[in-house]
Amino acid sequence: MVEVGKIKIGNELPFILIAGPCVVENESITLSTAEQIKKISDDLKIPFVFKSSYKKANRTSIKSFSGLELKDAIKILHKVKENFGLQILTDIHTDHEINFASEFADVLQIPAFLSRQTELLIAAGNSGKVVNVKKGQFLAPEDMKHVSEKIESTGNKKILLTERGTTFGYHNLVVDMRGLETMKEIGYPVIMDATHAVQIPSQGGVSGGERKFIPIIAKAAAAVGIAGLFLEVHPEPEKALSDAASQLPLSSLRELLMTIKEIDAIAKK
């Protein structure tokens, strides 16, 4: 079990929600989305960690939006924390980002493309924060044992492991549900990222996606049994500045979570 503030995360416990827009686009969207997700999660009694990236360092094209000015994005995430009392998860991409990210983030996330970067993993471990590692699209589930050992070497065992799909050919991802059980055997809470899992990478300079499959992957993972569900959520995904094709519409969140909650209860009887 791993604790984020008062939230307890474990493979045998009721699932938690990690959700929010892909990237901080502006103050209005970020704060209103956080407030609405909090209302839904409070109503359904689902523990909630807010996620959003202060920047996106691995966009497909140099022309793609990668974030606001750093100080502006960080200020907005501070406001989310202060206004709504939420725990915050955000990506880190380099060692030097850890110091300022640790000032407002409760969970430091290692992006999938950086999941084998030893120095970054060790630096994140040394922060003492909870570290969520996205499984690289190029890694087998059992390879996450080596990833977690790098963080463990710092004495930090506050680790979350997140599945987000595996490369299948050049422009497709698949989710092998057996991998969720394999990662559980490593001994840490396993999270299912049902939104990145529906991406279609690098379609004409941007990542595409098949949003209609988000609920299917989320429900299948819940049936296996997961510690948490990771969803990128946006009020108007088609207008999102990042990952527009693979974010869940905010209007669909409540109904999906109600279903996941039912499946989760059955899976963990």
What is the number of other CB atoms lying within 10 angstroms of the CB of residue 259?
A: 14
How many residues in total does the chain contain?
269
Q: Which of 73, 108, 67, 75 minimizes the C-alpha distance to 89? A: 108
What pLDDT is attached to residue 220?
98
The residue range of the domain holding 35 is: 2-267
67-118 pLDDT, tens digit each? 778 899 999 999 999 999 999 999 999 999 999 999 999 999 999 999 999 9
Cα pseudo-dihedral 240, 226, 35, 94, rounded to 10: -60
Specify the number of domains making up the chain.
1
Give me the chain's average pLDDT, please: 94
Rounded mean pLDDT of 221-228? 98
DSSP-derived secondary structure letter, 112? G
**Residue 22's pLDDT band (cuts 50, 70, 90):** very high
User: Is pLDDT of 10 > 70?
Assistant: yes
What is this structure's pTM? 0.95
CA distance 72 to 4: 25
Tell me the C-alpha to C-alpha distance, in Å, between residue 33 and each of 76, 120, 159, 161, 191.
12, 30, 26, 25, 21
CA distance 50 to 231: 10
What pLDDT is attached to residue 129?
98
User: Is pLDDT of 138 > 80?
Assistant: yes
CATH number for position 152: 3.20.20.70
171-223 pLDDT, tens digit each? 889 999 999 999 999 999 999 999 999 998 776 666 777 899 999 999 999 99
Higher pLDDT pick, 65 / 159: 159
**Residue 249's pLDDT band (cuts 50, 70, 90):** very high
Helix, strand, or coil (residue 189): coil
Conformation bin of residue 201: beta by default, left when phi > 0, alpha when psi is -120 to 50: beta
What pLDDT is attached to residue 171?
84
What pLDDT is attached to residue 164?
96
43-59 pLDDT, tens digit each? 999 999 999 999 877 75
What pLDDT is attached to residue 68?
77
DSSP assignment of 120-153: HHHHHHHTTSEEEEEPPTTS-GGGHHHHHHHHHT
User: Is pLDDT of 133 > 90?
Assistant: yes
- Do 39 and 19 form a contact (C-beta atoms < 8 A)? no
CA distance 95 to 220: 35
